Amino acid sequence: MTDINKKNASTIISASWIFTSNSEGQLLSDYSIVIENNKIIDLVHQSKVFDEYDADEIYQLTDHILIPGLINTHTHAAMSLFKGFADDLPLQDWLNNYIWPAEKTFVNSSFVKDGSILALSEMIKAGVTTFNDMYFYPDATAEASIELGIRSNIGLVVLDFPTNYAADPEDYLLKGFEFRDKWRNEDLITTSIAPHAPYSVSDEAFGLINTYSEELGINIHIHLHETQWEIDDSVKRYGITPVQRLNNLGIISPSLIAAHCVHLNDQDMAILAKNKVSIVHNPSSNMKLGSGIADVAKMLKQNLNVSLGTDSSASNNRLDIMEEIRLAALLLKGKTKSPELLSATQAIKMATINGAKALGLDSIIGSIEKDKIADLVAIDLNTIENQPIYNPLSTLVYSSSKSDVSYVWINGKIKLKEKKLVNLDEEKIIHMAKIWQKKLKKM
């Protein structure tokens, strides 16, 4: 029976702990999140929530911690079909002799759609609710994102050389803008321009990209200072580092999302800090490709916004942001020999609100606050691995793993329930991946 003194809501989720990731890094105990449609409308203590609200769906998640949906700020989702295809190689050898030839043979719209479905399923199961992508055939990635109901910022790729997808920089941009027009009214999709890297895009193309980015008010997503080779090559060709070259071209600005930044000298770091660039730290990918370890402590000292990315399944093999949080914390402490640096709270913020800031979406996602969108993840801490719990944030960063992710909501809708993808046939996705594996094996 409906109580007329109570307000009706779509969903109420109660949990033992809620890490809000707000500016105070607040951790709430025994609170409930009240959701109406896709928005958080209230945060109320569990003892009072049902005095004030009725809801269509109610979740009582004892021994769980609720956190904002994780944001994977650097991906190439469709490359999940290249997972394990060429491992244990340095970046230039890996790209030139394996990944680019395989892309030439296999990458088309259906490869991207199927690869994206595989990747997005893996990400939702690991608590990722938003991903920042860069790949060919963006329509196919967008279709997969809408089908699975995950939030995406899709990078419109630009390269100097032709691929199956486009012929030259103008053609890449033209296709990108057609994409942007087609998907611009879709709630879950935003776009950025994604020049692949300084070594694969000319000054002329950067000129065009800069003009369009400013005119359309959209971000630029790029690989930057990933390897020492990239810097040596730039100094040979242009006499300056890639950061200095891009700065001369007007690309270094607050709208830049720079993936990697493993090797930065003091001058490069100062340019990025002065221009409030967002940096995406990809610890697993940088280690697997032997690129090095980014100096995140120095970035944080300069007040740079640092978020986390997995990069593609081909250079990481796991689209697991919880693992990147743990690695980011451990690597920073190890590199600086200062265990007090990067607290568990700061590490989780990198994968939530900092990712939202990088994408320019921090007014709607990235923290659990009234009027923000309900992108949420519940992690079950009632396991052998997670007990005992003295500090739930330490448990989350240092003990728990993606296998503890039990519920995911995106845009107010449930996408993972009791560790199972909602409305998706996991067997069918596994079968599809096996068919592609047979095709790629013949190469």
Q: Where do contacts with Zn ion occur on this chain (CB under 5 A)?
A: 311
In the complex with Zn ion, which residue's Cβ is closer, 227 or 244?
227
Cβ atoms within 10 Å, residue 299: 21
CB 316, min distance to Zn ion, A: 9
In the complex with Zn ion, which residue's Cβ is closer, 154 or 381?
154
In the complex with Zn ion, which residue's Cβ is closer, 268 or 311?
311
- Phi/psi zone of residue 21: left (φ > 0), alpha (ψ -120 to 50 degrees), beta? left
CB 230, min distance to Zn ion, A: 13
Cα gap 377→367, rounded to integer Å = 11
Cα gap 264→306, rounded to integer Å = 14
In the complex with Zn ion, which residue's Cβ is closer, 290 or 334?
290
CB 196, min distance to Zn ion, A: 9
Cα gap 217→250, rounded to integer Å = 14
CB 107, min distance to Zn ion, A: 15
Cβ neighbours of residue 280 under 8 Å, at least 6 residues apart? 73, 74, 132, 257, 258, 259, 260, 306, 307, 308, 309, 358
CB 224, min distance to Zn ion, A: 10
**Measured at CB, which residue is nearest to Zn ion?**
311
In the complex with Zn ion, which residue's Cβ is closer, 311 or 324?
311
In the complex with Zn ion, which residue's Cβ is closer, 103 or 311?
311
CB 209, min distance to Zn ion, A: 17
